[in-house]
């Protein structure tokens, strides 16, 4: 389905990004596994893809660094000739109630989640045709107590997605977002059992999602089956946002 396509997935060394990278490669895309701190884990993803007969490379880049993103996109286009699929998955949390939230925690989350998404899109917007998929969150749609920074960043990703869809449509680039609910990854591993149980009560399907649930939606949006879809936010959340 994605043969001859080149895909860049940010934060692909673990969790949802890892699952997306592996799923895109399974469909035939050549995948650049971006990481920032987790080199060994990014290499593991590359190895897994190659063991399954796919093609992958790893690339270190802090997505919150505007110039580093410019270099990354230029390097990818120089090496492969084109970039067809960009998945902005890299993300962090620094949770806390607003009364106690530090300025640096607000800035850090906005810098990775929102500015990081801007940075990669900004430098790849000159491509002709392609698919951009941004990972937002149910928190960006509904809000979530204790996540002012994170929810603002993910709501910002939705605004960015819709605006980029409008600006880049004439170049044949579609831009969509996926809004996951609670997904079993290291990001949610830190939540207490009590919080996880109460979260499950808000999920129609009664359980956390798997990284592969998000990857399935990403593969669809990256494929030509989604050619006429742009500016959309697809919730993959077991029915939290209905």
Question: Scanning residues 69 to 128, which ones bind ligand NAP (CB under 6 A)?
Answer: 89-92, 112
Q: Is 241 in the site for ligand NAP (CB under 6 A)?
A: no
Residue 1 Cβ vs ligand NAP, minimum distance, rounded to whole Å: 23
Binding track, positions 182-201, relative to ligand NAP; x by CB under 6 A: xx-xxxx-------------
d(CA 76, CA 25) in angstroms, rounded, equals 16
d(CA 34, CA 207) in angstroms, rounded, equals 29
Q: Is 234 in the site for ligand NAP (CB under 6 A)?
A: no
Q: Which of 16, 29, 69, 76 binds ligand NAP (CB under 6 A)?
A: 16
Q: Which residues are part of the catalytic machinery?
A: 150
Residue 160 Cβ vs ligand NAP, minimum distance, rounded to whole Å: 13
d(CA 14, CA 78) in angstroms, rounded, equals 26
Residue 204 · residue 212 · CB < 8 Å: no
Name the residue nearer to ligand NAP (CB basis): 129 or 183.
183
Q: CB-based contacts of 21: which residues, under 8 Å, 6+ apart?
A: 7, 9, 12, 31, 33, 45, 49, 56
For 30, what's the count of Cα atoms within 13 Å in the CB-facing half-sphere? 13
Q: Which residues in this chain contact ligand NAP in the complex, by CB under 6 A? A: 10-11, 13-17, 34-38, 62-64, 89-92, 112, 135, 137, 180, 182-183, 185-188
């Amino acid at each position: 389905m994605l043969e001859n396509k080149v895909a860049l997935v940010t934060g692909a060394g673990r969790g949802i990004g890892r699952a997306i990278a592996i799923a895109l490669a399974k469909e035939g895309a050549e995948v650049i596994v971006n990481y920032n701190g987790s080199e060994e884990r990014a290499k593991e993803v590359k190895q897994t893809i190659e063991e399954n007969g796919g093609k992958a490379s790893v690339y270190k880049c802090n997505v919150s660094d505007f110039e580093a993103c410019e270099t990354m996109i230029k390097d990818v286009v120089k090496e492969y000739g084109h970039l067809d699929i960009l998945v902005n998955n890299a993300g962090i949390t620094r949770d806390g109630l607003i009364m106690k939230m530090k300025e640096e925690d607000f800035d850090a989350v906005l810098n990775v989640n929102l500015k990081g998404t801007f940075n990669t899109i900004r430098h790849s917007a000159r491509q002709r045709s392609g698919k951009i998929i941004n990972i937002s969150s149910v928190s960006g749609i509904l809000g979530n107590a204790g996540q002012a920074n994170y929810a603002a960043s993910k709501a910002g990703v939705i605004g960015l997605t819709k605006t980029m869809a409008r600006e880049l449509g004439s170049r044949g680039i579609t831009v969509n977002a996926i809004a996951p609910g609670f997904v079993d990854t290291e990001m949610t591993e830190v939540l207490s059992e009590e919080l996880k149980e109460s979260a499950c009560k808000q999920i129609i399907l009664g359980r956390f999602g798997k990284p592969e649930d998000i990857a399935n939606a990403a593969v669809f949006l990256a494929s030509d089956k989604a050619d006429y879809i742009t500016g959309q936010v697809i919730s993959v959340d077991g029915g939290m946002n209905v």
